[in-house]
Amino acid sequence: MKIAPRIKSLAAAILIIAFFVVLNLNGFLNPFKNFFYLISSPMQKKLLGAGSNASDFLAGILEINTFKNEIENLQIKNQQLISRIVGLEELKKENETLRQALNIGSEKEFQLELAYLVSKDASDDSLLIDKGIRDGIKKGLPVITKEKTLIGRIGEVYEDFSEVMLITNKKSSFDAQILEKDISGVVKGKGNLSLDLEFIPKEKEIIPGDVVVSAVLGHIFPKDLLVGEVKEVKKSDLEPYQRAVINPAFDLKGIGSLFIITNF
């Protein structure tokens, strides 16, 4: 008995869908993905290095004029920051002396786990890093760069790998504040490596260049991790709050290695 081609195709489609449903329902998916990541990660790390070099080379050719202006601006900013650091060092010493006098312990340092970037999701703001359950990584742990810039938090954890949901991911939102100003808001990921600071009261004054850091409220991230810089302020008569577009402080080009805060 011959089976009609249409029935054959339909049966094949149903079988494939059933296969995916079974794979999703059972616990096979994570070991299955972990296996693929394990065999692919050495090549992906090499490709990441090559990609970074190639994009730097291209940027050097295409943006030479922008670089000149940027270097001048950065030199000015550097001078300003050096003078600020001197002032802050004095304050730090004073703070330590006061802590000792009041018998308060010194500030707790983070316990960090070093991880390396393996890949980025093709269509979402998520990364894959080479540390997983074996290294004691758990869902929700914050991920930062060596400069204490906030990257995101751990999503799904596999045996040898973990997913990092970037702060720019559409599913990400957390409390933040503007440095040296009594202004708080909620940082929401907008996808495609963009961020917004929302729910800022209209009477508060924010300007482009203001620095945004994480706030302890909500207990999603530790306090004072660098999030980014205000790029643009958006006010509308129709909305009760103002909104700021944030330039994220992290750059994918510079994050070969990352740190997971394990004692948070």
Partner 1 sequence: MIKKIIFLFLLFYILTLVQTSFWIYFSLKGMIFNLVLLLIVIISLFARERWFAIASAFIGGFYLDVFSFGLTRFFGFYTLISVGLAFLIRLVIRKYVQIPIVKRIQKQKNPLYL
Footprint on this chain of partner 1 (rule: CB under 8 A): 16-17, 19-21, 23-24, 29, 33, 36, 40, 43-45, 47-48, 50-52, 54-55, 118-126, 128, 155-156, 163, 165, 168-169, 171, 191-194, 252-253
Closest approach of Cβ 257 to partner 1, in Å? 15
Toward partner 1, which CB reaches closer, 223 or 253?
253
Q: C-beta of 54: minimal distance to partner 1 in Å?
A: 7
- DSSP assignment of 50-116 equals HHHHHHHHHHHHHTHHHHHHHHHHHHHHHHHHHHHHHHHHHHHHHHHHHHHHTTPPPPPPPPEEEEE
Residue 139 vs 223, nearer CB to partner 1 = 139
Q: With the CA atoms of 202, 203, 204 and 208 taken in that order, what torsion angle do they form, in degrees rounded to the nearest 10?
A: 60
In the complex, least distance from residue 15 CB atom to partner 1, rounded to whole angstroms: 12
Residue 189: CB minimum distance to partner 1, A: 11
Three-state secondary-structure class, residue 13: helix
Query: For residues 95 and 194, which CB has a smaller minimum distance to partner 1 in the complex?
Result: 194
Do residues 224 and 235 make contact, with C-beta atoms less than 8 angstroms apart?
no
Kindly tell me which of 44 and 262 has the beta carbon lying closer to partner 1: 44
Task: Give 172 or 242: the residue with its C-beta nearer to partner 1.
Answer: 172
What lies within 8 Å, CB to CB, of 175 at 6+ separation is 184, 185, 186, 187, 214, 215, 216, 217, 218, 220
